[in-house]
Amino acid sequence: MDEKTSLKFQLISAWCGPAFLITFVVFWGVIGQNLPNPSPDLSATDLAARYIANLNDIRLGFIMSLIIIVFYMPWSALLAAQMARIEGKFPVMAYLQLLGGGLTVMVVSFSAFFWVTAAFRPERDPVLIQLLTDLGWLCIDLQYACTTLQMVAAAMVGLAERSKTPLFPRWACFLTIWCGLSFLPASLTGVLKTGPFAWDGMLSYYIPYFCWLCWFTVASLYMIKDVRRRMRESDAQGDTMAVTHGATA
Amino acid sequence: MSTTQVIPPPLARHLPGDRDVWIFIFAELLMFGAFFVAYLVHRQTSVDLYNASQQTLDRDLGVINTIFLITSSWLAVSAVASARANRSREIVSRLAGAITLALAFIVVKYFEYTTKFAEGINLTTNDFYMFYFALTMIHLAHVMAGTVILSVLLLNAKEEKYHRQNLSGLEAGTAYWHLVDLLWIFLFPLLYLLR
Amino acid sequence: MFDFIGIHANRSWLVLLAATLVTFSISDNHAIGTYAGIATLLISYLKGRLVVLDFMELRHAPALWRGLFEAWVLIISAVLLVAYLASTHT
């Protein structure tokens, strides 16, 4: 494959980031009725009623989310390639980031798929609907560590890079680490049903998810910048080649 | 031709360590600030319950832990002073002291928690205990991370890595440790004393 | 001779220890009631300031950084004080 085509694929992968972000917020957050998300304290009957009252939105939101989530994959793959370029012969952190990115897709997918299943037969026993909803939220809220690891790996490589045109500025690397750590309170969603640490609370939901989106936006911007810079370099090299060839012709 | 008057430069102001680590530290302060506010807002709705539950906390252990952290922090900044004076063995012993006190803090917290668990109290018992366990556990995670950082500094210090010309790693790592101390200075009265 | 008290950080440590013991001893003093709480918060503010200035060594840092951290300590102390006073009036 020639360099120009490869760079084109890279740029598309980088733009998968913003595409994922916007569509995810729209389908998972807004249409899927997760802003605000249902409280773990809701009774099974109230929860089932919520599904029935918003049935089409919930189905559309999460079925689409299950498709859109895969845009996270080319983005993670590009980041892995960019990290591997920095790491050199043993791109361990790049692999770790890739693993983390892939597992994040799985964790978010499974959670949305539980909710689609809950909405599949809304006439079911409300207790079962509640179980499926619980499965979805605990799946996504307790298994944040693979995402944290993905983020920390990227930050570590970003910090260690010593080039004139680094992939990530230092402040972005520290932002990444801090955002990754902001997920920690979400572990309490496994125990608490009310208060700021429950899965509908400020400290386990709104702040961590917002932090994840902030990191994702910042990282995407710098990844796109990096690909475009390398595209310009490649073009410039192509031009100099053409000039020298032209001169000798 | 006029002669320009020479204005002496201002006294050099210096940010120790690493600016980006300070950004991270400040972000942590903001996060805990949000936790404090969450506690206060929720407490307002059931002050009596909070005050009553607070009485069951062991304030003696809380004070002991405060003293441990303050002293540990002091040893850490003293280690930096030793590095500035190029006294490398002192750096090692002071960091070792700081780490010992950090471990002592962790041990005390272990006893505090297990005592409560043995009495059947955990973070689902009521709102106060939820905050008590959640906030001190999140702080404890920071204490553990800080202890790991101090240990890395100790290993580096043993290899005589730190001296007046190479300080910023030591300063940055100990700055994080002072954050942990600073947070406890507010967390302790908030949870254990104010009623 | 090693001048223990002459060094800022050492002095601050002793003050911090003393302040901690003071807050501990007044904390369960029913005779002074809410004044104990107010005093505790004031002392916490001063303790926080000492950690920022002498342990974090921001006393001689650029004004922006010293300002940010001093502001955090001040605002947190103020917020705690206001919330505490509000709770004693319920």
CB contact under 8 A, A195 and B141: no
**CA–CA dist B87, B163 (Å, integer):** 8
Whether A180 maps to a domain, the answer reads yes
Please state the pTM of the whole predicted model: 0.83
User: Residue A72 domain-assigned?
Assistant: yes
Q: What is the mean pLDDT of chain B?
A: 90
C14 lies in which domain range? 8-88
For residue A37, what are the domain limits? 3-230
Count of domains observed in chain C: 1
In a domain, C49, yes or no: yes
Q: Residue B5: what pLDDT?
A: 43
Whether A114 is in a domain gets the answer yes
Instruction: Dig out the tokens for A218 from the structure.
Output: 């910042």
Mean pLDDT for the stretch of residues B111-125: 92
Of the listed ranges A14-23, A58-67, A73-82, B5-14, the least confidently predicted one is B5-14
- CA–CA separation, A30 and A57 (whole Å): 9
pLDDT of residue C36: 84
How many other CB atoms sit within 10 Å of the CB of residue C1? Answer: 4
As a whole number, mean pLDDT of residues A156-182 equals 90
A152 occurs within a structural domain: yes
Tell me whether residues B28 and A191 touch, CB distance under 8 A: no
Q: What are phi and psi of B151, to 5 degrees?
A: -65, -40
Cis peptide leading into residue A36 (ω within 30°): yes
Q: What DSSP state is assigned to residue A142?
A: H
The ipTM of this complex is 0.90
Tens digits of residue pLDDT in C42-75: 999 999 999 999 999 999 899 999 999 999 999 9
Residue of A191, A206, A204, A216 whose CA lies nearest to A79: A216
Chain B, nearest residue to A193 by Cα: B124
φ/ψ of residue B86, rounded to 5: 60, 35
State pLDDT tens for residues A73-102: 999 999 999 999 999 999 999 999 999 999
Q: Which of C44, C55, C83 sits opposite B189 (nearest CB)?
A: C44
Mean pLDDT computed over A143-164 = 93
Q: What is d(CA A32, CA A116) in angstroms, rounded to the nearest whole number?
A: 10
Kindly state whether residue A241 falls inside one of the protein's structural domains. no
Determine the pLDDT at residue B13.
78
CB < 8 Å to A192, chain B: 123-124, 130
C1 located within any domain: no
Q: Which of A132, A146, A216 is nearest to A186 (CA)?
A: A146
Domain membership flag for residue C2: no
> Is C83 a member of any domain?
yes
A147 is a domain residue: yes
pLDDT for residue B6: 43
Find the residue in B nearest to A201 (Cα). Answer: B38
Q: How many CB pairs under 8 A join A and B?
A: 42
Q: Evaluate whether residue A235 is within a structural domain.
A: no
Asked if the model's pLDDT at residue B8 lies above 50, the reply is: no
For residue A128, give the nearest of A113, A137, A117 by alpha carbon.
A117
Q: What percent of chain B stands above pLDDT 70?
A: 94
Check if C87 contacts B (Cβ < 8 Å): yes
Strand, coil or helix: A192: coil
Measured in degrees and rounded to the nearest 5, phi and psi for residue B16 equal -70, 155
Please give the DSSP secondary-structure letter assigned to residue A89: S
CB contact under 8 A, B26 and C69: yes
Which pLDDT score, from 0 to 100, does residue C80 have? 92
**Nearest Cβ partner for C40 among B41, B47, B193:** B193
Structurally, at CATH architecture level, domain B19-193 sits in: Up-down Bundle (1.20)
In a domain, C40, yes or no: yes
Interface residue B74 vs chain A (CB under 8 A)? no
Within a domain: A216: yes
Tens digits of residue pLDDT in B28-77? 999 999 999 999 999 999 989 998 999 899 999 999 999 999 999 999 99
The H-or-E segment that residue A2 falls in is: none
Number of domains comprising chain A: 1
Say if CB C48 and CB C81 are below 8 A apart: no
* Interface membership of B36 toward A (CB under 8 Å): no
DSSP structure string for chain B: -PPPPPPPPPPP----S-HHHHHHHHHHHHHHHHHHHHHHHHHHTTHHHHHHHHTTS-HHHHHHHHHHHHHHHHHHHHHHHHHHTT-HHHHHHHHHHHHHHHHHHHHHHHHHHHHHHHTT--TTS-HHHHHHHHHHHHHHHHHHHHHHHHHHHHHHHHTT--BTTB-HHHHHHHHHHHHHHHHHHHHHIIIII--
